[in-house]
Amino acid sequence: MLHSKPKDDNYLHKGLRRDLVNLLREKGITDERVLEAINSIPRHFFLDPAFERIAYEDRAFPITANQTISQPYTVAYQSQLLEIKKFDKVLEIGTGSAYQACVLAELGALVFSIERQKALYDYVGGFFFMKNYPHIKRFYGDGFQGLPTYGPFDKVIVTAAAPFIPPKLIEQLKPGGIAVIPVGDDNGQKMMRITKDAAGNVKEEILGDFSFVPMLEGKNK
Ligand code: SAH
């Protein structure tokens, strides 16, 4: 379960965070703004207290409703691919713990994030740390639909394993926009970067291998 009460961010956490950032740099993350965002967000706030000491290892962790907070390397990798500029409108599918949303907000994005699990959506609503990020708007809904009334978006990020590239998300991408979507099944996914040029032509790049929880159709109460 996520914490709703303020927590301590002490020198030990800060030191562990610096080590994590150095590890991400060694693993090939080069965007210093992304690394700085990760350095500034207390990841242990997002996890069950049982995981507090290992919150800064580079691995995914269980959160509520059988979901996970993505591995820091994955968060950094997707964030880097998005090339976030200040005031970019970013659509995120899969709010989960909201850690990825906070990293995007640190980078200056206006984040619109959808979660299909009501329990998780409600939980994040009571998470004290979110008050630092008024530019994150959260929605309870089905990410396959996107947010047509709020779009189009400069960037789209999916943080669950999509069985295919959801067409509505590409429709809601602005010309010049970038979408980053892990596409595949339970056996693994390929990260895909989809770019839309000024004329609206779409280009797909297939990047590395990842493992996300599945992107599921519809809302879950
Ligand atoms: N970005 C999250 C990672 C969460 S894991 C974080 O930083 O913690 C993936 C999340 O996607 C889960 O919470 C899951 O419930 C959600 N999800 C799966 N399918 C979805 C859909 N169709 N629409 C919205 N959210 C979805």
Q: Is the pLDDT score of 157 beyond 80?
A: yes
Q: Is the pLDDT score of 1 beyond 60?
A: no
- Report which of residues 64 and 71 the model is more confident about: 71
pLDDT over 70 percentage in the chain: 97
Phi-psi map region of 76: left, alpha, beta (phi>0 left; psi -120 to 50 alpha): alpha
In Å, the largest CA–CA distance within the chain is 50
Beta-ladder partners of 138: 113
**Does ligand 1 come within 6 angstroms of the Cβ of 74?**
no
Mean pLDDT (whole number) for 121-143: 96
pLDDT digits (tens, 9 = 90+) for 186-203: 999 999 999 999 999 999
What is the predicted pLDDT for the residue at 66? 78
Given 2.40.420.20, 3.30.70.3270, 3.40.50.720, 3.40.50.150, which CATH number is that of 61-210? 3.40.50.150
Please work out whether the CB of residue 113 comes within 6 Å of at least one atom of ligand 1.
Answer: no
Mean pLDDT over the full length of the chain: 94
Distance 212 CA to ligand 1 centre (A): 9
93 lines ligand 1 (CB under 6 A): yes
Looking at residue 6, its pLDDT comes to 64
Domain residue ranges of the chain, discontinuous segments joined by +: 61-210
Global pTM reads 0.96
C-alpha 87 chain-centroid distance: 17
Q: Is the pLDDT of residue 2 over 60?
A: no
pLDDT bucket at 111, cuts 50 / 70 / 90: very high
Residue 76's H or E segment, with its range, is helix 72-82
Flag whether pLDDT at 49 surpasses 80. no
Q: Whose CA is nearest to atom 14 of ligand 1?
A: 94
Can you read off the two tokens belonging to residue 154? 């400069």
Contact between 204 and 196 (Cβ < 8 Å) = no
